[in-house]
């Protein structure tokens, strides 16, 4: 099957994040099995979703991971000119939900599998497809864990988010948080009889806002946003509950630690009668431009475009980098089309992805000559 034929099939599966992705994953698994590729599925706890891990070539260290997510964002309240889950070609563009983000990359990977299988590869190519990236990268941690236990240490990973085939070497992390303050309601005529939940919540917001201004004045090591505050019941009642939803996006671990330290200090001395439940609700590690020489070098060899790019969006790349795999982001399509009505990817970008995959097969023909990371495989 060609990349476009496979993309048409993948787009037809409605894998919006609130839905199961199993029909798509099972189709990919059957397709790979038809080409004698061994496949492992890594299911979510409720068994409604699954990651997929497959390997082509010898069972040895020094291979390449090609990774992408199978879920897409909703089409609700978007004005599409055609069915979002039917691939439509117009003027050299292929429209459909997920065409750019990022089923085009997955289709190019799958289209290349028969050619890879026909050749005596000297090092492996691993396919790693995740679920629920769009709602906080919920599936990829377990996928990376399975990679550690079942695959000899890869030399590099390429995450195929849409970069127009440029090499993305860094992006900020994303950490979403919820702080729920509980106090004691009372009549406002005598506030001493109660304990306000809003006041310590406001103090937390003030501390975060001050840190955000400090980051901005120093060049932006991190961004901070307070997205929602909800508390109180009436003007004449001491508020017994207040919730703060906030997030930050650090460029490195030092900036992340500064944010965490600020929050710890803000929550350390709560007023009498007030408690707080502070939890992280989403966490996506940053991708840094360290220890990625192997991935950069190979991506350029495969035809990825230079110069390197700092990406304005987050990806799953940091999860692979955290376990010692040299990682970059590079894939077909433009992020400007992602999440938009009438999302599209150009025929030229799909052709570039096909050439990239052909070069990946040529790279895998050679004996491993890149020193892999320390062994990730565990008993």
- Each residue's pLDDT tens digit, 133-155: 999 899 999 999 999 999 999 99
Question: Higher confidence at residue 218 or residue 52?
Answer: 52
Range 351-371 average pLDDT = 85
Same structural domain, 28 and 116? yes
pLDDT digits (tens, 9 = 90+) for 295-304: 999 999 999 9
> Dihedral angle at the C-alpha atoms of 302, 307, 312, 316, nearest 10 degrees?
30
pLDDT, position 219: 84
Q: pLDDT at residue 378 above 80?
A: no
- Shortest CA distance to 143 belongs to which of 269, 315, 319? 319
pLDDT, position 34: 97
Query: Which one of the listed residues 101, 132, 133, 152 is annotated catalytic?
Result: 133
pLDDT, position 253: 84
Range 322-334 average pLDDT = 97
Same structural domain, 276 and 249? yes
pLDDT digits (tens, 9 = 90+) for 264-279: 999 999 999 999 999 9
Cα angle 326-144-138, degrees, rounded to a multiple of 5: 120
Same structural domain, 229 and 253? yes
pLDDT, position 333: 97
CA–CA separation, 343 vs 17, rounded Å? Answer: 17
Range 208-231 average pLDDT = 94
Write down which residue in 224, 250, 284 finishes a domain: 284
pLDDT, position 50: 98
pLDDT, position 375: 43
Write down which residue in 267, 284, 301 finishes a domain: 284
Secondary structure letter of residue 164 according to DSSP? T
φ, ψ at 147 (rounded to 5°): -60, -40
243 part of the active site? no
CATH number at residue 252: 3.30.70.360
pLDDT, position 290: 83
Q: pLDDT at residue 376 above 80?
A: no
The DSSP code sequence of 25-64 is HHHHHHHHHHTT-EEEEEE-TTSS-EEEEEEES-S-SS-E
Secondary structure letter of residue 22 according to DSSP? H
Range 249-260 average pLDDT = 90
Question: Higher confidence at residue 292 or residue 104?
Answer: 104
Q: pLDDT at residue 369 above 80?
A: no
Please report which helix (H) or strand (E) contains residue 242, including its range: strand 241-250
Write down which residue in 245, 263, 284 finishes a domain: 284
Q: pLDDT at residue 373 above 50?
A: no
Residue-number span of the structural domain to which 7 is assigned: 3-171+287-365
For CA atoms 302, 307, 312, 318, give the dihedral sign.
positive
Query: Which one of the listed residues 5, 23, 45, 71 is annotated catalytic?
Result: 71
CA–CA separation, 140 vs 130, rounded Å? Answer: 6
- Average pLDDT score over the chain: 94
pLDDT digits (tens, 9 = 90+) for 71-122: 999 999 999 999 999 999 999 999 999 999 999 999 999 999 999 999 999 9
pLDDT digits (tens, 9 = 90+) for 162-175: 999 999 999 999 99
Confidence band for 367, pLDDT divided at 50, 70 and 90: low
Question: Higher confidence at residue 235 or residue 292?
Answer: 235
91 part of the active site? no
Helices 104-117 and 3-12 cross at an angle (nearest 10°) of: 130
CATH number at residue 349: 3.40.630.10
Q: How far apart are the first and last CA of the chain?
A: 38
Domain count for the chain, please give it.
2
Percentage of the chain lying above the pLDDT 90 cut: 89
- Shortest CA distance to 47 belongs to which of 82, 66, 78, 21? 21
């Amino acid at each position: 099957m060609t990349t476009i034929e496979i993309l048409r099939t993948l787009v037809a599966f409605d894998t919006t994040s609130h839905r199961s992705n199993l029909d798509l994953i099972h189709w990919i698994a059957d397709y790979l099995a038809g080409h004698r590729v061994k496949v492992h599925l890594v299911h979510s706890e409720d068994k409604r979703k699954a990651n997929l891990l497959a390997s082509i070539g010898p069972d040895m260290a020094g291979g390449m991971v090609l990774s992408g997510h199978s879920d897409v964002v909703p089409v609700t309240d978007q004005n599409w000119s055609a069915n979002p889950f039917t691939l439509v070609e117009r003027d050299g563009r292929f429209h459909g939900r997920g065409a750019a983000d990022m089923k085009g990359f997955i289709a190019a990977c799958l289209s290349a599998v028969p050619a890879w299988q026909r050749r005596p590869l000297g090092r492996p190519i691993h396919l790693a497809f995740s679920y629920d990236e769009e709602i906080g990268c919920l599936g990829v941690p377990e996928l990376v864990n399975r990679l550690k236990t079942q695959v000899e240490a890869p030399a590099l990973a390429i995450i195929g988010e849409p970069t127009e085939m440029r090499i993305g070497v860094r992006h900020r992390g994303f950490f979403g948080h919820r702080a729920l303050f509980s106090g004691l309601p009372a009549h406002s005529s005598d506030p001493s009889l109660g304990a306000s939940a809003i006041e310590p919540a406001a103090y937390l917001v003030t501390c975060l806002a001050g840190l955000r201004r400090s980051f901005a004045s120093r060049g932006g090591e991190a961004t901070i946003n307070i997205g929602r505050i909800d508390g109180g019941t009436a003007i004449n009642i001491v508020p017994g509950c207040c919730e703060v939803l906030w997030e930050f996006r650090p460029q490195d671990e030092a900036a992340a630690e500064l944010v965490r330290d600020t929050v710890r200090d803000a929550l350390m001395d709560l007023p009498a009668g007030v408690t707080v439940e502070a939890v992280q609700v989403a966490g996506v590690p940053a991708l840094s431009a360290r220890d990625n020489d192997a991935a950069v070098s190979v991506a350029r060899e495969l035809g990825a475009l230079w110069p390197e790019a700092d990406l304005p969006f987050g990806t799953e790349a940091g999860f692979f980098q955290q376990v010692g795999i040299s990682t970059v982001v590079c894939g077909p399509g433009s992020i400007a089309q992602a999440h938009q009505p009438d999302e599209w990817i150009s025929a030229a970008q799909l052709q570039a992805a096909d050439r990239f995959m052909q070069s990946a097969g040529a790279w895998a023909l050679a004996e491993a000559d890149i020193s892999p990371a320390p062994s990730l495989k565990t008993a």
